[in-house]
Amino acid sequence: MSTEFLSGDEAFAEGVRLARPDVISAYPITPQTVVVERLSEMVADGSLDATYLHVESEHSALSAAIGASTTGVRTFTATSSQGLLYMAEGLTYASGGGFPIVMMNANRSTALPWNIYGDQRDALSLLDHGWIQAYAVDAQEALDLALMAYRIAEDERVMTPFMVNLDGFALTHTYETVEVPTQEDADRFLPPYQTTNRFDLEHPVSIGFSAGPDTNDIFKYREHERMMQVFDVLPQAEEEFAEVFGRRYPGVVDPYRCDDAEFVIITLGTVAGLVHDVVDRLREAGTKVGCLRLRYLRPFPTEALVEALDDAKAVAVLEKDISFGHTGTVFADVSTALQGAHLDLEAYNFIGGLGGRDINAADIETIFTTLQRGDTDTLHFLGMGA
């Protein structure tokens, strides 16, 4: 294992290299481009033995990955923002077909107005397309999720594509020290990909067939079941990861000082680090506050979320997303979970960071103040006077 100074993009590229994909289909888009640039260099210098396809669009990138996956090989692609939306048609083909493609998405605002900076509206708008979705908090987790994504997606119980999300610029272009595993350790954790879900001349199968009203729902139910298997596979994979690499992850959610917290901010991605800092400061002043980071949005971690909020009096969902005409997408999911568990607590939604707008410590303190005093309004937009 070596310690290197890497951006989030570069760290993720290292993780992909260690995963030994057979086919990489690439199309550049800011702020994802560095990932596929680094992978092209690895293929060129021989440190990664893979077929590298520089295609003509994001739609083609995912289409090529699907085609490669049908032949039974490990595949990778990456995108961001409008590129992810351009892939939307292919997302359901990949998930419905049970093709365990891994894709890195650099979270970035969607047009219009045109904006290259980071919010999470791109990926959160596509939660219903059948992909596992995880959100990294730092460069180390980004690298580790590259390996973890293949380990989970390719499990025969899951066989579901996996989207790893990195906050645009805040993570993709921020440099940190990262522990890069040896190839030997990576191979111990992630064995070569083998599957029967592929074209085979010796054992012919039908892939991409039609299903009418009498059978279509069966396939959709099985797709849902495969996704739900992540809850069983993930703990096993994380335990094996800890044994091989010495780093332990907490599962689908990451609670921070939530054990006795009365007021909790629920969030995802890099802003959780800022929330941790404010939590520590308020704890020193005697306020029982905490942070609950959602590491996975699909499958949605209902049980773990409810368990972490057992002592809470009020929660705020802070997200870089808005479902226009309603609330934030994450808040809608959290509210459903809380109502289903009959938890007696107040829930508020704070929208911030759209188009890369800064979220600062004063904003986090304002959220906690709102939780403590209560409010008649559920939905708040940071920096908009509401």
Condensed to tens digits (0 to 9), the pLDDT of residues 32-60 reads 999 999 999 999 999 999 999 999 999 99
Q: Is the pLDDT of residue 359 over 70?
A: yes
DSSP class of residue 344 equals -
Residue 236 pLDDT: 98
3-state secondary structure of 193: coil
For residues 85 and 58, give the distance between their C-alpha atoms in angstroms, rounded to a whole number: 9
Angle at 196 between CA 190 and CA 202, to 5 degrees: 130
Q: Across all residues in the chain, what is the average pLDDT?
A: 97
Judge whether 148 and 155 are in contact, CB under 8 Å. Answer: no
| 98-144 pLDDT per residue, tens | 999 999 999 999 999 999 999 999 999 999 999 999 999 999 999 99
Alpha-carbon gap, residue 328 to 321, rounded angstroms: 6
Q: What is the mean pLDDT of residues 270-275?
A: 98
Task: Name the residue with tokens 């739900």.
Answer: 228
* Percentage above 90 pLDDT, the chain: 94
Cα–Cα distance for residue pair 198/360, rounded to 1 Å: 49
Read off the amino acid at residue 213: P
Q: Which sign does the torsion angle of CA 253, 255, 258, 264 carry?
A: negative
Confidence grade of residue 251 (pLDDT, cut at 50, 70, 90): very high
Quote the CA–CA distance of 238 and 232 in Å, as a whole number: 11
User: How far is it, in rounded angstroms, from Cα 68 to Cα 23?
Assistant: 7
Cα separation, 188 vs 181, in Å, equals 11
Mean pLDDT, range 140-157, rounded to an integer: 98
pLDDT tens digit sequence for 367-377? 999 999 998 89
pLDDT at residue 386, rounded to an integer: 45
Least confident range of 203-217, 278-292, 350-364:
203-217
Q: Which among 101, 241, 73, 231 has a CA at the least distance from the CA of 157?
A: 231
* Separation CA 348–CA 367 (nearest Å): 9
CB atoms under 10 Å from CB of 382, counted, come to 21
> How high is the pLDDT of residue 383?
85
pLDDT digits (tens, 9 = 90+) for 55-104: 999 999 999 999 999 999 999 999 999 999 999 999 999 999 999 999 99
Please tell me the predicted confidence (pLDDT) of residue 385: 60
Distance from CA of residue 144 to its chain's centroid? 12
Backbone angles phi, psi at 314, to 5 degrees: -155, 145
Lowest mean pLDDT among 78-82, 148-152, 207-211: 207-211
Give every strand in the sheet of 75-80, ordered side by side: 51-54, 23-26, 75-80, 102-107, 162-167, 132-135, 296-298
pLDDT of residue 362: 97
Nearest residue to 104 via CA among 60, 62, 154: 62
Residue 344 pLDDT class (50, 70, 90 cuts): confident
Among 108, 42, 53, 44, residue whose Cα is nearest residue 76: 53
Helix (H) / strand (E) element for 105: namely: strand 102-107
The arithmetic mean of pLDDT across residues 29-34, rounded, is 98
- Give the CA angle between residues 108, 109, 110 to the nearest 5°: 120
Residue 329 reports pLDDT greater than 90: yes
Instruction: Tokens for 145, please give them.
Output: 């999720």
Q: How far apart are CA 81 and CA 27, in angstroms?
A: 13
Alpha carbon distance 260, 384 (integer Å): 32
Amino acid at 187: D
E strand residue ranges, 162-262: 162-167, 175-180, 253-256
- The continuous run of DSSP H or E covering 148 comes out as helix 139-153
Cα(first)–Cα(last) distance of the chain, in Å? 49
What pLDDT shows up at residue 308? 97
Question: What mean pLDDT do residues 2-23 have?
Answer: 98
